[in-house]
Chain A
Amino acid sequence: MAINKVITADEAVAGVEDGMTIMVGGFLATGSPEILMDALVRKGVKHLTVIANDGGLAEGQPAIGPGKTARGVGKLLENHMVDHIIASHLGVNPRLNEQFAAGTLTYTLVPQGTLAEKIRASAYGLGGVITPTGVGTPMEFEKDELGRDKITIEIDGKKYLLERPLHADYAFVRASVCDHFGNFMCRKTTKNFNYPMAGAADHTIVAAEQVVNVGEVDPDMFDISGVLVDYVVEGEPKWQI
């Protein structure tokens, strides 16, 4: 009998402390674990470093409609809980540029494909990723997220950047269907960063729309192994327009 990893959202974030680094799945908040963001807001942690593709959506942005609450990482930004964000795109949520201008938030930009691989490298035990992306651009000449110089490598006459892994204290991801052991899958375009982030942190928490018993569905349906997952939280809502 496999262990049951289901706990509440508040229990799942109980160990998150001020100043920690967290990863959050999602692309413009599609596929972001909303109930875990809500739990972090309730806990009120501060000075987080967030690793995510983007800053989610702000309260009332057109994509979610007037008066609607923020989505994904947007919830943390709305509550001024983030000191530094490592992302590929920061142009959509207006809270980001407001907080950059106010000097309360700093950022490190990473090309989207490199970001995914840096995260994946951490989950799967690689010392780094060697990519042609970013050669000859500020990605080669600027420091990385921890203030280190970039390393360039020439292989068979072609120049590459060596990008180091990105590891977090917590990875918060969202599943469409997850079993009690943590095996999970994400529907359609909600896979995005949720798959590479599983296992790329000391603790991986999955918030699931639907939680099933072990053995209840064909294991072939799952894409990510529960071996990478520490806890499962039920009750993630379907995205409401």
Chain B
Amino acid sequence: MADLKMRIAKRAAKEIHNGDVVNLGIGLPTMIPKFVPEDIHVTIHSENGFAGLGAAVEHEAHIDTDIIDSSGSYVTTAPHVKHFDSADSFGIIRGGHVDATILGAMEVAENGDIANWIIPGGKVAGMGGAMDLVVGAKKVIVAMIHTQKGKPKIVERCALPLTAEKCVNMIITEMGVMEIRPEGVVVTELHPDYTKEDIQNATACKLIFAPDLKVMEEE
């Protein structure tokens, strides 16, 4: 599973372009920065209050307790960092100044609806900044394992309460890369470990295979 997540993170890193501002969700997306080439300059936005996330703090002596990321971990910042309050931070998000948000999901529907914040009857967690991020970011990329232990997560309609409607642009899984287009979910890359039938069988909506279907990088 760790290798599959690495494959997904590595592919997602290719969606980051020079000069982009990106916001990364918890879990798998936090693995992405290490796969971004050094000549690609990326500004990572952390919704609790800054643009310009650096690396994790390696030694306790270097911790500045006034700097945490949105998961509450102590972090360092990039030289061009700017800190701001929560209203400004979400203004930057809703205002379309974040080029891409890359995050996980429980369900994605073929029309781009996403559900990733609550399972009714489970523990109460809350949406945090997720609803603002998927509505505001210019591009919404879901990076996730294709199924939940075999149960499809890419579906015709989400059964779970939505995080937002019609906002997902791209889905990257261990099986392939999909784009949400007006005609539906279009597979643009397929990983060589899987056939068209495999990816369709792991998906609960009809997949369209791009005429120029590419091979997802082997890993």
Q: Which residues of A contact B (CB under 8 A)?
A: 27-28, 30-31, 53-54, 63, 87-92, 96-97, 100, 107, 109, 111-117, 119-120, 131-139, 176, 186-196, 238-241
Contacts and interface: CB of A to CB of B under 8 A. Distances in A.
12 contacts: A27-B49, A30-B65, A87-B126, A91-B124, A97-B123, A111-B128, A113-B87, A133-B136, A138-B118, A191-B84, A241-B60, A241-B65
Interface string B115-134: 00010000111111111100
Contact of A189 (B67, B124, B128): B67
Contact of B90 (A30, A89, A116, A176): A116
B109 to A, nearest CB: 11
B79 interface: no
A193 B88 CA distance: 10
Contact of A91 (B86, B123, B135, B136): B123
Contacts of B67: 188-189
Contacts of A92: 72
B164 interface: yes
B47 interface: yes
A192 B93 CA distance: 15
A177 B50 CA distance: 19
A120 B131 contact: no
A241 B46 CA distance: 22
Contact of B85 (A90, A133, A138, A196): A196
Q: Which 10 A-B pairs have the closest CB atoms?
A: A113-B90, A91-B125, A113-B132, A136-B165, A195-B85, A239-B65, A188-B66, A111-B131, A28-B72, A116-B86
A156 to B, nearest CB: 16
Given A109-B126, A111-B131, A188 B50 contact: yes
Given A91-B123, A132-B94, 6 more contacts: A88-B128, A111-B129, A112-B47, A114-B90, A116-B89, A195-B86
Interface size class of B (residues with CB under 8 A): 35 or more
Contacts of B85: 116, 186, 191-196
Label chain B's interface by main secondary structure.
loop
Interface of B: 46-50, 60, 63-68, 70, 72, 77, 83-87, 89-91, 93-94, 113, 118, 123-132, 135-136, 161-165
Contacts of B124: 90-91, 96-97, 100, 107, 109
Given A27-B49, A88-B129, A111-B129, A191 B83 contact: yes
